[in-house]
Amino acid sequence: MALTVLKVKNAKPGRHVDGRGLCLVVKPSGSRTWVLRMQLNGQRRDYGMGSAYDVPLADARTAAAELRRRVRDGYDPVAERQKARRIIPSFETATRACHETLGDGWKDGHHSRWLSGFERHVFSRIGKKPVDRVDSACVVEVLSPIWLEIPETARRILQRIGVVLDFAHIKGWISGEVSLRSVRKGLPRQTEKAGHFIAMPYADVPELMTRLVAAAPTTGRDALRFTIYNAVRSNETRFAVWSEFDLDKAIWTIPGERMKARETHIVPLSLPVVALLRRRWNERTSDDGLVFSNSGKKPISDMTMTKLLRDDGITGVTVHGFRSAFADWAAETTAFPKEVVEKALAHKLPNRVEAAYRRTDFFEKRRDLMARWAAHLDTAPAEAVEATPMREAA
């Protein structure tokens, strides 16, 4: 029997059926609540329709009919309520959570570098935006200013944003997977091939080095000179600590976990490098801190050395490209065997059998090679330096 207004008023504790799933639930406390029972995806669920004191019988029937219609159209009241209660973090919060969760399995250098691109180029633009509102258009807006200026960094950031959005989807912060395949269609074509680092001609590097020496010393300038003298990767410089150096023996031992090939690399230091390090040693803040840091704790940005080049009007050339300049110089102006140069660059031999049998690291030959490279770098004519002084603002 369908309920009446009088039955609703006088109903005793229990469940009283009106019809088509609509029930009046009366509790011993006297509370009266409308409940609609329905099947959804094979499961029986009860949906609250409000208090009988506030919702008359006729209104409860109308509301029940409307809810049944919406459920047939795909509406899920429970999921919608859960979604409304769920707190969606900002993109920056989601990124840092992703970094903390996934970073345990990364190399130390990669773990520390991963956030730097976000902090410099992304968070200021979309960091405060809820992560579920970050779409391809937002990513295009973020990457547009740097897509052609620093293409390699821009590509890395695009890939890492995809990782963050996938992580947010797994965490339930984004209802569906976000595809970033259309992002590149909204950006100009990069003419530089992926992975290619533009190098300065080796004949021009001495002039740059002399200008760096002539300008007021800064941590960035010292780091750039050190990187070029040793033909190392910028991150090997940025994360170098004093405990890795033996200045009396002129040796720098880079542990395997900091190297791309995951093998310990011993670098023979030329005289200008030792002099540079002794000066910085006298200005150090700790005996085991970072060598190229104002505090000894926080490394310089991976863009610091690049900015020195850009501020001096040197466009296109990358810091990594100085390794290519070193290789070109060695090949064209010296008689050192290729394997000695490759070892100086900490390249792994592509032939595994050859690598297994070749135990030497050519250390003494590399010491001579790096001394010759340093001598080349210190040969710029004075008139060229005076004509193009290094900007003091760098």
- pLDDT per position as a tens digit, 182-201: 898 888 887 655 445 678 88
- pLDDT per position as a tens digit, 110-140: 566 788 889 889 999 999 999 999 999 999 9
pLDDT confidence of residue 44: 82
Contact 73, 63 (CB under 8 A): no
- pLDDT per position as a tens digit, 329-350: 998 899 999 889 999 998 876 5
DSSP H/E element including 268: strand 265-268
Residue 25 pLDDT exceeds 80:
yes
pLDDT confidence of residue 354: 45
Residue 39 pLDDT exceeds 90:
no
Residues 56-62, mean pLDDT to the nearest whole number = 91
Nearest to 206 by CA among 391, 383, 347, 393: 383
37 φ/ψ angles, rounded to the nearest 5 degrees:
-100, 125
pLDDT confidence of residue 89: 92
Q: Among the ranges 103-112, 225-234, 310-319, which has the highest mean pLDDT value?
A: 225-234
Distance of CA 259 to the CA centre of its chain: 19
Residue 109 pLDDT exceeds 80:
no
Residues 24-34, mean pLDDT to the nearest whole number = 90
More confident of the two residues 102 and 393: 102
Q: Among the ranges 42-46, 71-75, 85-89, 373-377, which has the highest mean pLDDT value?
A: 373-377
> Residue 30, Cβ neighbours under 10 Å: how many?
8
Contact 56, 5 (CB under 8 A): yes
pLDDT confidence of residue 42: 72
More confident of the two residues 178 and 108: 178
Give the tokens for residue 304.
């610091």
Distance CA 241, CA 237 (A): 9
Q: Which residues of 176-192 are buried (b: 16+ CB within 10 A; e: fewer)?
A: eebebeebbeeeeeeee
Give the tokens for residue 88.
């969606």
Distance CA 7, CA 21 (A): 17
Contact 60, 32 (CB under 8 A): no
Q: Give start and end residues of each alpha helix (H) in 313-379.
A: 321-333, 338-344, 352-357, 363-377
Residues 368-387, mean pLDDT to the nearest whole number = 75
Q: Which amino acid is at 234?
A: S
Residue 145 vs residues 122, 154, 197, 315: alpha-carbon distances, Å: 11, 9, 20, 16
Nearest to 168 by CA among 112, 250, 86: 86
